[in-house]
Amino acid sequence: MNQTKIQRIIDSGVDFNIEEILSKAWEMFKSQALLHIGFMAMIAAIQVCFSLYLEDITFLYAIFLSPPLVCGFYLVANRQNQGEPVDFQNYFDGFKYWWDLVSTNLISSVVVILGLILFIVPGIYLLVGYMFSLLFVIYGGFDFWTSMELSRRLVHTNWLKFFLFGLALLALNIAGFLFLMVGLLVTVPITYLAVYILFEELTIDAVEEEPKNTAIHG
């Protein structure tokens, strides 16, 4: 990704249709439903194991394993979007960016928590603002602070719309939880696919011609 082009996108402002993004995420989910559900079930099983048997070190999962695992959805979504074949091992490609994802997720989480504890409103602002941080790490190759700032500045151009998008995703997952929690196997993957789709649509003009494993291609 070209940072200058990203800045141009930020300067011009962004807008999007929430319903359209969710609809595209649903279609993407359906095309590889068994794989998405299977990977989500694996993540849920790992979380349950930590909660039941490794409760004292559950934080280690959240810090060191969760970021690359959930980013597996972003990487598979990219493959789906390009019409490339997908298999289960592709979900683990997030570990190729392990340290950058872990450091970015940890630092952004600390900043958000401090904002929530001290002032609440800034914490909410940053929670929404950092939604693309990990995607900028993967597809932009940026360091943690640049990724966080690019995400925040991009979201800032239309923060209320992104906030409503986040509420829509939250409502979707609450609905999934109410279906005896089984629905989360569907709604959580859709959530990550939707974030990826939105990110791609907003930043596609900043993509440079690079090898497929380092950039989003439209």
- pLDDT tens for the 218 residues of the chain, in order: 999 999 999 999 999 999 999 999 999 999 999 999 999 999 999 999 998 998 888 899 999 999 999 999 999 999 999 999 999 999 999 999 999 999 999 999 999 999 999 888 999 999 999 999 999 999 999 999 999 999 999 999 999 999 999 999 999 999 999 987 889 999 999 999 999 999 999 999 998 765 444 446 43
Please report whether residue 211 resides in a domain: no
Provide the CA 154 distance to its chain's centre, in angstroms.
Answer: 15
pTM for the model:
0.92
Please report whether residue 9 resides in a domain: no
Q: Total structural domains in the chain?
A: 1
Please report whether residue 214 resides in a domain: no
Please report whether residue 213 resides in a domain: no
Please report whether residue 218 resides in a domain: no
The amino acid sitting at 174 is: I
Range of the domain at 116: 16-206
Show the tokens assigned to 207. 């993509």
What DSSP line would sit under 74-108, residue for residue? HHHHHHHHTT----GGGGGGGGGGHHHHHHHHHHH
Please report whether residue 41 resides in a domain: yes
